[in-house]
Amino acid sequence: MIPYSSFTFFGILFVLLIPAVILGFLGKRSTNYTTFLSFVFLLLVFSSSKIQTFYLVTYIIWVIILIKGYSVYRKNSNHSTVYYLSVFLSILPLLIVKVSPVFESTTLVGFLGISYLTFKATQVIIEIRDNSIKEIKIVDFLKFLLFFPTISSGPIDRFRRFQQDCQKKLTAIEYREYFQIGVHKIFIGFLYKYIIGYLINVHILETQFTLGHTFVSNLTYMYAYSLYLFFDFAGYSAFAIGVSYIVGIKTPENFNMPFISRNIKDFWNRWHMSLSFWFRDYVYMRMVFLLTKKKIVKNRRNISYISYTTLFLLMGAWHGIQINYLLYGLYQAILMCSFDWFEQFNKKKKIWKNTKLTHVLAVIITFHFICFGFLIFSGHLVN
């Protein structure tokens, strides 16, 4: 059973959330019950496949040993070799899944499941190295790693922020606000995923016209797929965030009206924000720091461009090693570097003025570049 994919899942979910809601309205939110829910939904998701259950248990044991081992090591030492090895080992299961076709049909809740679990585990190792996390209990780590509303496809939370929410005592009044937000998010999720997304998919994407490869059909597919991708994924994210609020956890937002972005930088601050911020903080910023510190590249702009290219190629490969995903990553890197160059150029030449007209034009231009990127991402052009 895949989370949020059927009304059977929602029926079970709503029944099991009743005790959490009652406790919340009484001002007695229980993190133990949330942990119980995570365990129940793990059983529901993985019970149909013994092989998936085996991989999940193996993965959990793997990351527990890795996190605990590195945490103990970090208290006394801080060698870069051990750190990089630990990071590599944290992403090794995901690399196996992405590279080996043998594992394609036997991953944890599909590719996205193991991907998001990997993001969480790797993030914890990085923050242990930074001393942002000085002590971590395995129970707390598992609550964070296996938090059931977001286990399959995010949004990607941060351990320290999640831990603060778990420890926060909510009053009945505070919980009512959480509950209202949660219910609102769930309704938005149904609207986005099961109404708008469904209609776009059935009445545009799956028609014979858009499945063709004429210029007009490709253009139609490009815009329809871009909108479908947003409403489908934003709908899922709304479900995950809404359920999180109902159990007292303020899971971060994932989308902020991305199609009104003024430029590609603005877009990545609005689209799949938990993912883009993760790559920004743990890949881009650290690569910039490393290249600057080691003086491998002296020109700051070149450092930025190398880091952008690395970031987006990794982001593309994270979706899969198929050619459309790698081309999508390269395309985004080119857009980001090109815009950064133009932005620096425009500061000197003042060619593009900041007016209401240029703002509207910037949104329109950015929208078309974004949609073409999603056309590449879809694989429609290479199929």
The b-or-e profile of 49-77 (16+ CB within 10 A means b, else e) is eeebbebbeebbeebeebbeebbeebeee
The enclosing H or E element of 342 equals helix 323-349
Is there a catalytic annotation at residue 319?
Answer: yes
What residues contact residue 224 under an 8 Å CB cut-off, 6+ apart? 200, 204, 205, 210
Q: For residue 34, which of 161, 190, 165, 137 has the smallest C-alpha distance?
A: 165
Q: For residue 366, which of 327, 339, 329 has the smallest C-alpha distance?
A: 339
SS3 350: coil
Tokens of 98: 């992405």
Tokens of 371: 């949609």
Residue 252 CA, distance from chain mean position: 10
Q: What angle do CA 195, 221, 196 make, to 5 degrees?
A: 10
Q: Among residues 184, 272, 319, 359, which one is catalytic?
A: 319
Do 231 and 196 meet the contact criterion of CB atoms below 8 Å apart? Answer: yes
Give the Cα separation of 59 and 45 in Å (integer).
Answer: 16
Give the Cα separation of 225 and 370 in Å (integer).
Answer: 11
Residues with catalytic function: 319
